[in-house]
């Protein structure tokens, strides 16, 4: 009953201004990158890194056996072996905590214990999702950058905006540091050079999302024409990056674009751009019977809905669920998943533009390693001075009051593990004729404004 409906003599007796006695939920991010990771246990007592081995296949046989060699115990056959490749998964510990005074909290406006646990859970989920996102983009943006500072004269070393993807090259089935004995081919400007070393800057000045500025050193001098600021620098085995209006970038053929800086206001997301990414992913992986996940922000989704090809697909279907709700939907073999965790940053040379990076992901693009010791410790020590619960691979710890007044409860979470994007170098043209030379083949970054 509104207070103005109370008798005037009683209105002064009504206490006003109480805070609502429960916490309303705050805004949180729309996440999803971790969902595509293959989960693996990281065994106890194996150190902080573990080397995983992925088996390749053998090339198909298209030459018939000669009848005159079909003799002896081997029938004229020579044994062959499949190829293998290795990648390294490292682990680290992440966590946070909240303290709760169980005496003073009793005069609070709501149940702070439950709210603390809920807040910790949201923080943990978002933290792991960002770790998964960063691992994906660190891998699939690598090998594409631009010259940062124009050379004064021909020189073997150039300064670049991002050295990720240039620091290692394949050797004996394993990615190892680039060196004079383990080289890589890199396009700088319009010519190719042999990379023999990389170095990270002491102070990172990269303008790329997650980028690390540094220098690249080649076996011969780079010309001033090639070493001019803004020129593209592309690793021969770099992943595919798709940009609108033909500004794609492919390590196998080097593409037609200079760099991300070539994007202009007209380079918006269209259905055709996504179809290009799908084609590249299917050509590289051979996957045709599974859906790919496309993570994109809501501005990217808005641009897609304005695309003419997209409109034609839904012409006259004003009642379609996709059009009415803008929620996740399926189209052209893709699960469209809006997220607020998609990387967005200012254009390096045009302050009026924002660069957006949807990413199209195939199964197996990301591996999550969960340290097995977390669940073991939860079983061994839970209930002594604390309660430890494992929730979706994350340890939630509630520690009993250990202070002098036995009042402070610690509510914490931690996770021990890591994410890695495995390589697929064994899926070459002998196994998949349409595959490129990319080390990483299971995701495609789309860049647009």
Q: Which domains does the chain have, with CATH numbers?
A: 30-57+83-141+239-449 (3.90.1690), 145-233 (no CATH)
Q: What is the band of 27 on the pLDDT scale with cuts at 50, 70, 90? A: low
Residue-wise pLDDT for 284-320, tens only, equals 999 988 999 999 999 999 999 899 998 888 776 665 6
- What average pLDDT score do residues 340-364 get? 93
Residue 69 reports pLDDT greater than 90:
no
Instruction: Return the pLDDT at 378.
Output: 64
Q: Among 181-190, 227-236, 339-348, 367-376, which is the least confidently predicted range?
A: 367-376
Mean pLDDT for the chain? Answer: 84
Among residues 169, 155, 142, 153, which one has the least CA distance to residue 233?
142
Instruction: Return the pLDDT at 260.
Output: 86
Residue-wise pLDDT for 244-286, tens only, equals 988 876 655 555 556 788 899 999 999 999 999 999 999 999 9
Q: Among 47-61, 175-189, 411-425, which is the least confidently predicted range?
A: 47-61
Instruction: Return the pLDDT at 157.
Output: 98
Percent of the chain with pLDDT over 90: 49
Instruction: Return the pLDDT at 21.
Output: 42
* Position with higher pLDDT, 449 vs 18: 449
Instruction: Return the pLDDT at 283.
Output: 93
Instruction: Return the pLDDT at 143.
Output: 94
Residue 195 reports pLDDT greater than 50:
yes
Residue 14 reports pLDDT greater than 60:
no
Query: Would strands 241-242 and 443-446 be described as parallel, antiparallel, or unpaired?
Result: parallel
CA distances from 341 to 164, 186, 388 (A): 21, 31, 29
Q: How far apart are CA 281 and CA 287, in angstroms?
A: 8
Instruction: Return the pLDDT at 199.
Output: 98
Q: How far apart are CA 278 and CA 127, in angstroms?
A: 29
Residue-wise pLDDT for 134-191, tens only, equals 999 999 999 999 999 999 999 999 999 999 999 999 887 778 899 999 999 999 998 9
- The whole-model pTM stands at 0.84
Judge contact between 291 and 330, C-beta under 8 A.
yes
φ/ψ (deg, to 5) at 430 = -70, -30
Q: Among 137-151, 322-336, 344-358, 365-379, which is the least confidently predicted range?
A: 322-336
Among residues 75, 73, 124, 70, which one has the least CA distance to residue 97?
124
Instruction: Return the pLDDT at 208.
Output: 92
| Chain CA centroid to CA 81, Å | 33
Residue-wise pLDDT for 201-244, tens only, equals 999 999 999 999 999 999 999 999 999 999 999 999 999 999 99
* Ramachandran class of 306: left when φ > 0, alpha when ψ lies in -120 to 50, beta otherwise: alpha
Residue 19 reports pLDDT greater than 50:
no
Torsion of CA 260, 265, 270, 276, to 10 degrees: -30
Residue 323 reports pLDDT greater than 90:
no
């Amino acid at each position: 009953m509104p207070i103005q409906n109370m008798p005037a003599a009683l209105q002064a007796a009504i206490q006003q201004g109480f805070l609502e006695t429960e916490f309303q939920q705050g805004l949180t991010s729309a996440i999803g990158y971790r969902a595509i990771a293959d989960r693996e246990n990281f065994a106890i007592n194996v150190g902080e890194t573990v080397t995983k081995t992925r088996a390749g296949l053998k090339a198909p046989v298209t030459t018939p056996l000669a009848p005159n060699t079909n003799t002896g115990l081997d029938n004229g056959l020579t044994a062959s072996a499949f190829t293998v490749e290795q990648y390294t998964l490292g682990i680290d510990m992440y966590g946070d905590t909240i303290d709760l005074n169980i005496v003073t909290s009793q005069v609070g406006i709501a149940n702070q214990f439950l709210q603390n646990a809920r807040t910790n859970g949201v923080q943990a989920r978002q933290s792991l999702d960002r770790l998964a996102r960063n691992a994906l983009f660190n891998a699939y943006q690598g090998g594409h950058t631009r010259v940062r500072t124009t050379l004064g004269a021909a020189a073997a070393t150039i300064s670049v905006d991002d050295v990720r993807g240039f620091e290692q090259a394949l050797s004996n089935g394993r990615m190892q540091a680039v060196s004079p004995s383990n080289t890589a081919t890199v396009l700088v400007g319009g010519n190719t050079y042999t990379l023999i070393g990389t170095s990270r800057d002491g102070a990172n000045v990269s303008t790329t999302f997650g980028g690390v500025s540094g220098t690249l050193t080649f076996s011969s001098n780079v010309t001033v024409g090639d070493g001019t600021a803004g020129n593209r620098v592309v690793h021969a085995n770099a992943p595919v990056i798709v940009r609108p209006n033909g500004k794609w970038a492919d390590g196998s053929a080097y593409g037609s674009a200079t760099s991300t800086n070539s994007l202009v206001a007209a380079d918006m997301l269209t259905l055709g751009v996504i179809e290009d990414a799908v084609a590249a992913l299917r050509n590289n992986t051979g996957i045709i019977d599974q859906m790919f996940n496309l993570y994109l922000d809501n501005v990217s989704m808005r641009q897609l809905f304005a695309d003419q090809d997209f409109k034609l697909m839904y012409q006259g279907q004003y009642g379609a669920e996709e059009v009415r709700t803008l929620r996740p939907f399926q189209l052209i073999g893709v699960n469209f998943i809006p997220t607020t965790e998609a990387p967005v940053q200012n254009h390096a040379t045009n302050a009026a533009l924002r660069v957006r990076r949807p990413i199209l992901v195939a199964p197996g693009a990301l591996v999550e390693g969960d340290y097995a010791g977390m669940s073991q410790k939860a079983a061994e020590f839970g209930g002594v001075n604390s309660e430890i619960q494992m929730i979706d691979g994350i340890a939630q710890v509630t520690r009993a009051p250990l202070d002098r007044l036995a009042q402070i409860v610690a509510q914490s979470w931690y996770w021990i593990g890591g994410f890695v994007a495995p390589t697929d170098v064994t899926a070459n043209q002998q196994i998949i004729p349409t595959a490129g030379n990319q080390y990483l083949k299971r995701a495609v970054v789309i860049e647009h404004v």
